[in-house]
A and B are shown apart, each in its own frame.
Chain A
Amino acid sequence: MKAYVKETLTGFYSLLAGLGVTIRYFVKPIVTVQYPREKIDMSPRYRGHTEFLLDPETGSHRCNACENCARTCPSGVITVTGVKVPGTKKKRAVTYVLDYSLCSLCGLCVEVCPTNALKFSNEYRLAGYSRQDMIIDVMARLKAQQRALGLPEEVPPAPEAEAPAPEAAKSGEAES
């Protein structure tokens, strides 16, 4: 009988303690963010999809179309095409397309890049109405970025190359 009374009373007290906790939180300020109206800044290392790093020296990308990223990608997300820069043995990228719907954001492409041409974007609102919306043209993003900064758009694949470049660019587009 004594145990029964004690159990009932302690049980009742524990319920009150619980109520005490919730009422204390009831008057605390809220911690959530009203998403479309307020936004949280992504952390600097946030891994969005990849995009080209804008090289401050040249005002353009550094990609030499070695396709290391495309080869290392576990899901075959990346399609990159480049043309040979005349007079040198180097290549230069003309198209760089991501199929973001397959990407698992592992970041191996960024790490494997020999010229450090890639970085993660801070893009996190990536909803789309179709699969086509998930295909991201990294080169177009770079051009938009260049326009925004007032930098000259890089039309030819390399400064020296003039004649053979546009044809190669076309064939690159057709592939992608």
Chain B
Amino acid sequence: MMLEKGLEERTFYLNLGPQHPSTHGVLRIVLEMDGEFIVTADPVIGYGHRAHEKMAELRTYQQYLPNMGRVDYLHALAYNQCYCMAVEKLAGITVPERAEFIRVITSELNRISSHLLWFGAYLLDLGAFTPFLYCFDDREQILDLLDRLTGSRLTYCFYRFGGVPVDIDDDFIAGCRAFSQRLRSRWDDYDNLVTKNVIFIHRTRDVGILPPEMALQYGVTGPTLRGSGIPYDIRKSEPFSVYPLFDFEIPIGERGDVMDRYLVRLQEMEQSLRIIEQALDKLPNGPIMAEKVPKRLKPPEGEVYTAVETARGEFGIYLVSKGDVKPYRVKLRVPCFSNLSVLPELIKDTMVADAVAILGSIDLVIPEIDR
């Protein structure tokens, strides 16, 4: 093992993954270690490659819909939305306002569920087991709500070109309001159990500082970027759907450390709740599906790029059509790929425990990186 070349061999290699409790999937990080300290880190990806981009070329526009629930399974609805927006833009379909509202409400609910899962899993990385179960209890309420609407609990395939297939009912609206009340009543417990906990603060404050310049250089987006103090959120900077109608803030951090990323996510959940409540208040009546959407969709020749803000950052779809029933090429710009690329810089010269804390704070969904 490490001493085979004699005592002068200073560093050794440690495989963090592909099957490791804190990589949350099949990610492998080759760490060059000097005792407990990490000298270099080299992420190895591709274990979960499913050729989602290639699949698009072999399927019709409709048939590609279920794939969008499986790239990033934790915030599937944002991916649904982005793809639908891309095709709608290409085919010139206008979505009725009520459908846009429903999309925003469900997508924001999904964002909260994604952040809640991150919160729990992150605390698991730091060695606290119990918050995981508490947020899963909360998350379960969202899943129940979305289950009632969309029929599935995780890999949603809900939006359609031109709208949404089912309308929301009063039960759903009441459920949303009850949930936002419930989640707000839990912040205190989360604060006392986690945010104010001195061990947690010591584990996260000034750990893994990501300077804003470096974040920009690596193309980092999402809460990881906002934690570094750059208020870049597609919902505000390039508004899509009906987001301009709502009043919400973009929480940012100051130092760019793990703690800031954590706080940004917690505050984003609160902002998402605000968006949901406003959307429920302003919900217009009307159709939920555009009038004339052909069953065999053949968008005209052209290319289009749409981007949405997912729970992890900017997700973009670049879609090229040659006027066929199948897309000519689909390129998915996934946030975690860029976010992961900054990891080696962040975990250089830290300890293994910090590396785990930093890795968790970027909120990676590995199948999304591999696509």
Contacts and interface: CB of A to CB of B under 8 A. Distances in A.
A14 B201 CA distance: 10
Interface residues of A, number: 28
A105 B149 CA distance: 14
Contact of A104 (B66, B134, B147, B150): B66
A22 B193 contact: yes
A11 B196 CA distance: 9
Given A15-B197, A18-B193, A108 B149 contact: no
12 contacts: A14-B197, A15-B198, A15-B199, A18-B194, A21-B192, A21-B193, A73-B63, A74-B62, A74-B65, A104-B69, A104-B70, A106-B66
Interface in A63-120: 72-74, 104-108, 111-112, 120
A108 B65 contact: yes
Interface stretch (B17-25, B151-159, B257-265): B151-159
Contacts of B150: 45
B157 A106 contact: yes
Given A10-B198, A25-B134, A43 B147 contact: yes
Nearest to A68: B295
B292 to A, nearest CB: 16
B53 interface: no
Given A15-B197, A15-B198, A72-B63, A47 B192 contact: no
A31 B196 CA distance: 26
Contact of A31 (B137, B147, B166, B198): B137
B239 interface: no
Interface in A1-49: 10-12, 14-15, 17-18, 20-22, 25, 31, 43-47
Nearest 7 interchain pairs by C-beta: A11-B198, A47-B151, A106-B66, A74-B63, A106-B157, A17-B192, A45-B151
B189 interface: yes
Interface of A: 10-12, 14-15, 17-18, 20-22, 25, 31, 43-47, 72-74, 104-108, 111-112, 120
B349 interface: no
Nearest to B70: A104
B309 to A, nearest CB: 24
Nearest to A46: B151
B165 interface: yes
Interface residues of B, number: 35
A2 B104 CA distance: 50
Q: Which of B144, B152, B160 has the most CB atoms of chain A within a 10 A radius of its CB?
A: B152
Given A18-B193, A21-B192, A104-B157, A45 B199 contact: no
A157 B304 CA distance: 48
B59 interface: yes
Contacts of A120: 151
B246 to A, nearest CB: 27
Contacts of B65: 74, 106, 108
A18 B165 contact: no
B36 to A, nearest CB: 24
B47 interface: no
Q: Which of B63, B150, B160, B165 has the most CB atoms of chain A within a 10 A radius of its CB?
A: B63
Interface in B12-33: none
Contact of B197 (A18, A45, A111, A112): A18
A45 B147 contact: yes
B341 interface: no
Contact of A43 (B62, B144, B189): B144
B282 interface: no
B59 A18 contact: no
A21 B189 contact: yes
A44 B189 contact: no
Contact of B155 (A11, A17, A22, A104): A104
Given A44-B148, A45-B150, A107 B193 contact: no
A73 B67 CA distance: 12
B130 interface: yes
A114 B193 CA distance: 54
Interface in B179-193: 189, 192-193
